[in-house]
Amino acid sequence: MTTARLFWRFYAGSVRVVARGNLPYWAWIAFLLALIVSGALAYARQVEEGLAVTAMRDPVAWGFYIGNFTFLVGVAAAAVVLVIPAYIYRWGPIREIVIFGELLAVSAVIMCLLFVFVDIGRPDRFWHLFPPFGILNFPSSLLAWDVLVLNIYLLINFVVVTNLLYSAFARRDYNHKLVWPLVLLSVPMAISIHTVTAFLYTGLVARPYWNTSILAPQFLASAFCSGPAILLVVLQILRRFTTFRIKDEAIWKIAELMAYAVFLNLFLHGAEIFKEYYSDTHHLLHTRYLYEGVGGHDTLLPYAWTAVALNVVAFVLFIIPRTRRNRVTLNIGCAAIYAGVYIEKGMGLILPGLTPDALGEIYEYRPSLTEIQVAAGIFAVGFLAFTLMLKVAVPIALGQFHVDAVPRRERIPSPDNSLAPAPRHVG
Amino acid sequence: MSDERPDRREFLSRVAGTTVGAAVTGVLSACAARRLRDLPLEETRERIQALERDYRRRFGPEVSLSGAVALPGVIFGYALDLSRCIGCRRCVYACVEENNLSRDPQIHWIRVLEMEKRLGIDFAHSDSYYDSREVPRAGHFYVPMACQQCDKPPCTKVCPVKATWREPDGIVVVDYDWCIGCRYCMAACPYGSRSFNWAEPMVPPNEINPTMHVLGNRPRPKGVVEKCTFCVQRTRAGRYPACVEACPVGARKFGNLLDPDGEVRYVIENKRVLILKDDLNTMPKFFYFYGA
């Protein structure tokens, strides 16, 4: 069969797979599409009237968009770093964990790039970032670094995942020489996208709350909390609704590793809080704004303490073997840590960094409805991408959808028809 | 016949090659780096003339758009006498008129901070929303802030597209046609001296200052960052910045730092001078001093 015909079958088959589903599936898709439409409408208004429709102003020139961007970089990074323990501990079908991790990473990076895009005042000039037509201020600007590493990371994950899936579809062995080096490369790249994003803030002397070397380690620690939390939920869903056999031990092991990550995250925060309060310099003002409020300005207080409470709850649930092995408490822990990190890395990072501003002014920022609509739309794009990719990836990985088999709805595969050979161990 | 074919093929391929080459060059030159500072002299002049025609159509025939470049041997510096400033904000309003700052949404390049004498220079306890009809208030002093024209500007370092830079005469400028509006420079500025156009800026056409500079007070579009340029349209033409002329108590001094007889040099050499946030090593060219 020619490559073109094979690809056509892959394409047509994927469309057919995606276009087939039960009621909850279509309800979910419709829900996401509705959010996307609402986000697009809000964004159109923002383009028309300017960023004045957001709640951002000169004192707080970054807000909800950049907060979400920062959080999602962590999700993108952590999903892939799970590849290492998955490989070391030989969890269940390792290839699938790699695939789902990388699919999650691809979706998260897409959301990251969209959040940066909607934040800029001149989207019509986005191309100014791309040489040779534009000018990228590399290596001086950390934002230039971020654009670079995020795009490389997106590309790597995309190539790996499409290669794995497409070869499984074509019932061929995947390209080991291409895939394994890229999988291994994606691990340091995952760490570097998060480090670079942290340095974006660390490098600013004007903002003492960010200008601290603990930021990058803190970013990584919190990413290892939120990324695996999503993946744990996804793995459980897959185990439940498909014929995947993912070992309990794998899930417990991830939860145990998360307990260490949550602890490390809390510890790093504690170290920073000690330094701030004990030295009691002018810089303390930002930390106080987050946890105590300054001069009656206390918008962030409930969020800050909710995040602390969620992180502590998650730590307790993950560190006690009984609760991390109990399906209910495990998932409560996942939700808690996801929400906790979302607050801490979004509003909890951006807003105290900018409030009070460089001249001491306090502008209390709360995202406008437009910002929330646009952000919800971007999350919907990410979830839609992840859903559709999973919809194609799962039957391929299960061997139900391949070049010789048009997938049928009611077909249940026998356990031994997983088609692609197991990955060769490197080294 | 047989030896004609290769010739024709060669000819055709050469034609095709040239056409493709021309097309590629055309596209590249249409899209390639188009910051004002990257254009050759002739094109810069054309661009400025085109802008000038556009502004004349919009604001009247008296508009003139300068592209004056930095003079050799000049680095501008500013000195401000904290013991004289009374916080009247006349500099703020002179700046608004001179630099065609948006009236709605309101943009101010100068921000005057009221501080308590017993606390000294303390931004956390400063207030920029005081009532300027009741100044100077007892126990208070006033610190007008604007771009400090750093010699090591943190803002230009972080710009992802090099849309802002330090000119040879020390003025930090923004290319309004190249800025993508990411506001990283605003996060990086320790002096809160950059403003963003959150909406389409509005200046009443009858209040427009027609004497413009392409890197200074020309009309800005929505979605880009702007900042004080030491009134580049004036200072490169040998005049004082508008705020210097507007100050009723003579607190503001301006001049060439390389001129040994300049005003600012005199202040630096003879008065008690300070720069703001000197621990950040941004090396401002804006000096505060106590004249009395």
What does the CA dihedral A302, A305, A311, A315 come to, rounded to 10 degrees? -140
Q: Is residue A54 classed exposed, middle or buried when 0-12, 13-18 and 19+ CB atoms within 10 A define those classes? A: buried
A356: alpha, beta or left? (left if phi > 0; alpha if psi -120 to 50): beta
A64 vs B contacts (CB less than 8 Å): none
The mean predicted confidence, pLDDT, of chain A is 90
Q: For residue B147, give every residue at least 6 positions away whose Cβ sits within 8 Å of its Cβ, in sequence order, or none.
A: B109, B172, B191, B193, B194, B227, B228, B229, B230, B286
Whose tokens are 């009741």? That residue is B134
Query: Which among B161, B197, B282 is the nearest to A135, CB-wise?
Result: B161
Q: For residue B194, what is the nearest residue in chain A, using CA coordinates?
A: A58
Structure confidence at residue B37 (pLDDT): 87
CA–CA gap between residue B177 and residue B162 (Å, rounded):
12
Of the two residues A188 and A278, the one the predictor is more confident about is: A278
Best of B152, B184, B224, B282 to disrupt the A interface by mutation (most A CBs within 10 Å)?
Answer: B184
Backbone φ and ψ for A7, nearest 5 degrees, come out as -65, -40
Instruction: Identify residue A355 by its one-letter amino acid code.
Output: T
CA atoms within 13 A on the CB side of B147: 32
Averaged pLDDT, A368-375: 98
B161/A128 Cβ within 8 A: yes
A135/B162 Cβ within 8 A: yes
Q: For residue B38, what is the nearest residue in chain A, using CA coordinates?
A: A135
- CA A282 to chain B, closest CA, distance in angstroms equals 8
Query: Which among B124, B195, B225 is the nearest to A282, CB-wise?
Result: B124
* ipTM at complex level: 0.91
B32 vs A contacts (CB less than 8 Å): 132-133
B158 vs A contacts (CB less than 8 Å): 140-143, 203-204
Q: H helices within chain B, ranges in order?
A: 4-31, 41-59, 90-98, 154-158, 184-188, 232-235, 242-246, 263-270
Consecutive 10-residue averages of pLDDT for chain B (292 residues): 51 59 55 77 93 95 96 97 97 98 97 97 95 94 98 98 97 97 98 98 96 97 98 98 98 97 96 96 98 87
- CA A135 to chain B, closest CA, distance in angstroms equals 5
Q: For residue A57, what is the nearest residue in chain B, using CA coordinates?
A: B198
CA–CA gap between residue A15 and residue A13 (Å, rounded):
5
A61 vs B contacts (CB less than 8 Å): 183, 186-187, 196
pLDDT tens digits, A72-123: 999 998 877 777 777 777 766 666 777 888 899 999 999 999 999 999 999 9
Count of A-B CB contacts under 8 Å: 146
Best of B197, B222, B226, B228 to disrupt the A interface by mutation (most A CBs within 10 Å)?
Answer: B222
Q: For residue A116, what is the nearest residue in chain B, using CA coordinates?
A: B182
Structure confidence at residue B27 (pLDDT): 55
pLDDT tens digits, A201-213: 999 999 999 999 9
Structure confidence at residue A227 (pLDDT): 86
Q: What is the 3-state secondary structure (H, E, C) of A197-256?
A: HHHHHHCCCCCCCCCCCCHHHHHHHHHHHHHHHHHHHHHHHHHHHCCCCCCHHHHHHHHH
pLDDT tens digits, A300-314: 999 999 999 999 999
Distances A38 to A29, A43, A49, A375 between C-alpha atoms, Å? 14, 9, 17, 10
B186 vs A contacts (CB less than 8 Å): 58, 61
A200 vs B contacts (CB less than 8 Å): 184
Backbone φ and ψ for A345, nearest 5 degrees, come out as -90, -20
- CA B2 to chain A, closest CA, distance in angstroms equals 37
B32/A133 Cβ within 8 A: yes
Backbone φ and ψ for A414, nearest 5 degrees, come out as -80, 155
A57/B180 Cβ within 8 A: no
- CA A406 to chain B, closest CA, distance in angstroms equals 44
Structure confidence at residue A406 (pLDDT): 58
* Structure tokens, B172: 């930090």
Query: Is the confidence at residue A218, as pLDDT, over 60?
Result: yes
Best of A149, A205, A297 to disrupt the B interface by mutation (most B CBs within 10 Å)?
Answer: A205
Query: Which among B160, B196, B225 is the nearest to A143, CB-wise?
Result: B160
B31/A127 Cβ within 8 A: yes
Structure confidence at residue B28 (pLDDT): 53
Measuring CA to CA, which residue among A209, A205, A195 is closest to residue A351?
A209
Best of A204, A207, A283, A368 to disrupt the B interface by mutation (most B CBs within 10 Å)?
Answer: A204
Query: Which among B125, B181, B280 is the nearest to A205, CB-wise?
Result: B280
Best of A53, A120, A355 to disrupt the B interface by mutation (most B CBs within 10 Å)?
Answer: A120
The alpha carbon of A298 is separated from its chain's Cα centroid by a whole number of angstroms, namely 29
Query: Is the confidence at residue A424, as pLDDT, over 50?
Result: no
CA–CA gap between residue A122 and residue A124 (Å, rounded):
5
A55 vs B contacts (CB less than 8 Å): none
The β-bridge relationship of strands B286-290 and B76-81 is parallel
pLDDT tens digits, A260-309: 999 999 999 999 999 999 999 999 999 999 999 999 999 999 999 999 99
Best of B186, B200, B202 to disrupt the A interface by mutation (most A CBs within 10 Å)?
Answer: B186
Query: Which among B180, B184, B198 is the nearest to A52, CB-wise?
Result: B198
Query: Which among B28, B31, B189 is the nearest to A206, CB-wise?
Result: B189
- Opening angle at CA A37, ends A34 and A43, nearest 5: 140
- CA B255 to chain A, closest CA, distance in angstroms equals 26
Query: Which among B123, B179, B191 is the nearest to A122, CB-wise?
Result: B179
A51/B192 Cβ within 8 A: no
End-to-end CA distance of chain B: 98
Reported pTM: 0.91
Q: For residue A203, give every residue at least 6 positions away whose Cβ sits within 8 Å of its Cβ, in sequence order, or none.
A: A142, A211, B158
- CA B221 to chain A, closest CA, distance in angstroms equals 10
